[in-house]
Structure 1
Amino acid sequence: MSRGRAVLRRLRSILTPGSGVTDRTVTGGVWMGLNNVADRALQLGTILFLAGLLSPAAFGLYGIALVVQSALQRLSQLGLDTALIRRRESDVDRYLDTVWTVELGRGLLLGTVLYAAAPLVGSVFGEPRVVSLLRVLALTPVLDGLRNPGVVYLVKDLEFHRDAAYKLSNRVAYTLVGVGVGYATRSVWALVAAMLAAQCTSLVVSYLVHDYRPWLRFDFAAARELFEYGRWIFTSEGLMFLINEGDDAFVGWLLGSATLGIYQLSYRLSNAPTTEITHPIQQVLFPAYAKVQDDDASLRQGYYTSVRVITLLSFPAAVGIVLVGPVFVPALLGGEWLPMVVPMQVFAVYAGLRSFRSATVPLFRAIDRPDYDTKIRLLKLALLAPFVYPAASAFGATGVALVILGHTVVVAPIASYLAVRSVDGRLTTLGRILSYPAIASGAMGVVVYLVRERLVGVPSLVELPLLVLVGVITYGAAVAALEQRFGIGLAPIYRTFQDWVAGTA
């Protein structure tokens, strides 16, 4: 019993943030990693459960509604939270009432537009059933606008343990309601109900995790300061919607709701492992970079370390999805979803390439160059727009996925060059960092492929975990061999983590 209490005390000390930026960043990374694992496990579990109950057309119908809702929110994103996190002063209370007033007004406006535009959307997509979905989802921007602006302190002050609890609460609500309503109704309304439950929970919990209480008040001077920085975020988010979700709208319009359901699920499942890796790291990196924004050496070390950690985890995940996709889809989703295998494999390669690019976004924003990200996204849009229609017409969902992969092949090196130059680093160093996980992942891919080709007649539910196990063992052995032979940078990361753990004792 005493041993158990000792273990719990040790675990608690490890997960309690320290006083230094490095300690708080490492602890924050652990918390955001744990949160993301739990969040994605719940999300993917819910999606896989509902995919077994609903058809691709039902997912596509919800996808159309979600694309329209997301379009309005992303194209009106003001970047106020980002501007607050980046500000050097620790106390930003004087801005919070203005932020809440602006966000509430924005939410009410978006909700009204979404409700009124629902019939037009149904007509454009040839889906009258989407009208009622959109009119219910019109509540979501209003609920989001009512959120407590004080939660920005959870990230600004690197209190990621509290931020993790805040964000995980809405995912739990999403899962419970989605599974319950899905089982009871076997309809697309399960997804809508899950979304509303998540938004309501997020609103309530935002007032429980921080004691700030906003009032309707607008300070013109404060708003002007925030908008000066946020205008680049506004433009960047708008471009990001066109790049990341404009293809969804296009697929739904041209190829129909059933193809859209297959396309969206193939993207979501193929990118899930990479998102689990990059998303928590991005969330931790931005406030951490902002704390040392005037120290080139610290920024350079942080950038290289983040790329090393991201690619060591994301590259094998991408290769693994390419190889196990043909086994995964029939085993867990059934024959109705088989057309998603090839798009999922293409998107897996895309996920691996975009993973190391994700380290540049928080860096550009922290060093007051959000314009870099905006210009990069303009280039991505220019590379996407001319090719998406002919590719979709010729090859369907797979063609669109190939176009998405193509622009990433061009853009990722450019973004990495700007990042390296911004921290006064060397491209050869970055290339060396990227080469090691690429070599280890290639070796893993060859072994998994050979094993898969020899597992003839083995049930899919047995073959899938076996292939995953072979991949994990092979990749671990390859990375260990590279570290021993070349010193690929794992030792400093391990020592940093060891020092952090020791410091929590």
Structure 2
Amino acid sequence: MSIADRLVAGSLWVTLSRIIVNGLSMLGTIVLARYLLPSDFGVVALATTLLAVVTSITDLSLSEALIRHEDPRESHFSAAWTLGATRGLILCIFFAAFAYPASLIYNEPRLFGVLLALSLSLAMSGLVNPRKIILQRELIFRQEFVLSVAQRVAGFVAAIGVVIIYQSYWALVVGTLVMQATNVVTSYLVMPFRPRVTFSHMREFFSFSAWITAGQIVNTLNWRFDYLLIGKLLDRSAIGYYSLGGQLAMMATREATAPLTATIYPAFANVRHDAQRLAAAYSRTQALLTAAALPAGIGMAVIADPLVRLVLGEKWLPAIFIIQALASVYALQTLGSLNQPLGMALGQTRTLFVRDTQMLLVRIPVISIGLVCWGLPGLIFSRVLTGLFSAVVNMVVVERLINVSVRAQLLANFRALASSAVLAAGVTLADHYISVQTTQTGLVLQLAVLICLGGTLYCGFSLFLWIVMGRPDGPETEVRKLAFKALSKVSHA
């Protein structure tokens, strides 16, 4: 199969897995939100933030190095496993030792036990089979489907079981640990591997991963330091609203784009030596990504009110504003968002690090001022401003990497941007004239009407612009190709 065909096939497998995985994730979130308080989510969100910071600071980017390596051998995989297992054990001990001081710093006794438990996930993460990266190198995602679905199902069952029986925030922790343990076990089932302890090839790994690791440290601080500030300045309920609201705001955009973003780095790496082909692949993929992400994110923003009332309940109403603001900016941030896999494929990891550092220097003062002066609303407004700035920076980075101008990138996404604006205006106007619903049935009908209207407006206006502009190559063309391929396979079946 060609790279394009394998990319499409891989995207379909990822799409199927994401439908299952995030259907369970959404259902789990709804059930947990019904049983738990915002402050419960806040405690676990603070713990996972500390976990993410520690993880990113020490991440070695071994998977990315193996994907980009011209010819990885068994010794490379054993070396990657050895480095990963050693790192996981050291981090587990450190994180467990840090648990008590952290509970004192944040004046939260519950944090001690949660951090102790989550330290086990660090040890388990180092034991994952590095050979499974071969599947991504070859753009084979059937086994990735098994991995992702198996761990989500196991985590879902564990979390729901604990929350129904005990109605405790420990459901969130147990779900995370069971998912990690399942990931380790299934990684060896889909790709058999018997590792041996060796520290060879360390120079190869570190020469590739040095800038990526530095960038991940900065990037994690970029997107996590606000949780640390909220943990000190606001109560646990505020961080709970912010955490769950942020998850739901990101979910629509993330799930619309996951089938492509999960497969695009190895695809870019395969054509990195052909500049013209790489630029064409980037432009096509980014346009398709934006065409999926913009209506998903903007759509989530305009239906946030009835959605929260229906699935989460009245106690989560403060999260509505958070979802509305962040879902919109997450959608717009997909413009140029593929600069990360593009830069990694080209080996321009230092450029990515410089970008992340610049964004950190902008975000820390802006977000800190917003939070200190105006509390949670100020934090959200600051996130919107810095998010829009980040989208522009990403497009500038793309121009430097493959010489596709910012103007050309915007023009390639013009129909998606215009159609999303029509979607937002139409759904907002319709929602204004629909009386506020209080019953479950009324909210379900309201959501159904708004979603159908939004989908019709977006698809209809996109098709109209495509025809008016002379049917140029773009996302519409890709959708037609996929539709014809699917119909031809059905007809020959």
For normalisation by structure 2, the TM-score amounts to: 0.94
In structure 2, stretches of 5+ residues that fail to align are: none
Write out per-residue CA displacement over residues 96-140 of structure 1, whole angstroms, 9 at most, x where no aligned residue: 111111111110111101111111110111101110111111110
Alpha-carbon deviation of 1:232?
1.2
**In 2, Cα distance between the equivalents of 1:321 and 1:108?**
40
How far apart, in 2, do the equivalents of 1:37 and 1:218 lie?
39
Q: Decide which moves more: 78-87 or 329-338.
A: 329-338
Q: 1:491 to 1:334 in 2, by over 3 A?
A: closer
Residues 345-356 of structure 1 mapped to structure 2, 5 A cutoff: 345-356=324-335
Structure 2 match to 1:40: 22
Q: Which residue of 2 aligns with 1:126?
A: 107
Q: Distance in 1 between matches of 2:445 and 2:485?
A: 39
Whether the aligned pair in 2 keeps the contact of 1:177 and 1:197 (CA below 8 Å) is yes
What secondary structure does 2:217 align onto?
Answer: helix
Mapping for residues 138-217 of structure 1, pairs under 5 Å: 138-217=119-198
- 1:470 corresponds to which letter in structure 2? L
Question: C-alpha distance in 2, partners of 1:289/1:499?
Answer: 25
Q: Matches of 2:252 and 2:86 in 1, distance apart? A: 36
- What is the SS of the residue equivalent to 2:403? coil
Q: 2:112 & 2:475 partners in 1: Cα distance?
A: 53
- Whether the 8 Å contact between 1:343 and 1:397 is mirrored in structure 2 is no
* Pair 1:399 & 2:378 matched: yes
Separation in 1 of the partners of 2:151 and 2:354?
Answer: 33
1:59 maps to 2:41: yes
Choose from 48, 56, 78 the match for 1:97.
Answer: 78
Listed one character per residue, the Cα deviations across residues 8-44 of structure 1 (whole Å, up to 9, x for unaligned) are xxxxxxxxxxx32221111111111222222222112
Quick one: distance in 1 between partners of 2:119 and 2:476?
Answer: 51
CA distance in 2, matches of 1:177, 1:439: 44
Deviation at 1:465, TM superposition (A): 1.9
Q: 1:410 aligns with which of 368, 389, 393?
A: 389
Cα distance in 1 between the residues matched to 2:377 and 2:26: 22
Q: Is the 8 A contact 1:282 1:358 kept in 2?
A: no
The equivalent position to 1:497 in structure 2, one of 473, 482, 488, is: 482
The corresponding residue for 2:235 is 256
Which residue of the partner structure matches residue 285 of structure 1?
A: 264
- Separation in 2, partners of 1:147, 1:485: 51
1:460 is aligned to 2:439: no
User: Among residues 307, 311, 314, which one is paired with 2:286 in the alignment?
Assistant: 307
After TM superposition, give the deviation of residue 352 of structure 1 in Å. Answer: 1.2
| Equivalent residues of 1:111, 1:142 under 8 A apart | yes
Q: Does 1:76 align with 2:58?
A: yes
TM-score (ref. length: structure 1): 0.92
Secondary structure in structure 2 of the residue aligned to 1:138: helix
Question: What SS does the aligned partner of 1:245 have?
Answer: helix
* CA distance, structure 2, for counterparts of residue 450 and residue 403 of structure 1: 27
Deviates further, 339-348 or 492-501 = 492-501
**Could you tell me how far apart the structure 1 residues matched to 2:73 and 2:280 are?**
29
**Which has the higher mean CA deviation after the structures are superposed, 192-201 or 489-498?**
489-498
Q: Which residue among 127, 136, 145 is the counterpart of 2:117? A: 136
Q: In 2, distance between residues paired with 1:423 and 1:492? A: 23
- The structure-2 alpha-carbon separation of the partners of 1:470 and 1:498, relative to structure 1 and needing over 3 Å to count, comes to closer
Counterpart CA distance in 2 for 1:374 and 1:477 is 41
State the AA in 2 paired with 1:471. Answer: G
Q: Secondary structure at the match of 2:335?
A: helix
Question: CA contact under 8 A between 1:296 and 1:424: conserved in structure 2?
Answer: no
Q: Which residue of 369, 375, 385 corresponds with 2:364?
A: 385
How is 1:5-16 mapped onto 2 (pairs within 5 angstroms)?
none
State the alpha-carbon separation in 1 of the partners of residues 428 and 7 from structure 2: 38
Give CA deviations for 1:124-161 in whole Å, capped at 9, x if unaligned.
11101110111111110111111111111111111111
For the aligned residue pairs, the C-alpha RMSD in angstroms reads 1.7
Letter in 2 for 1:40: N
Q: Within 5 Å, which residues of 2 pair with 1:19-30?
A: 19-30=1-12
8 Å CA contact 2:366, 2:382 repeated in 1:
yes
- 1:376 touches 1:411 (CA, 8 Å); kept in 2? no
Q: Deviating runs (4+, > 6 A) in structure 1?
A: none
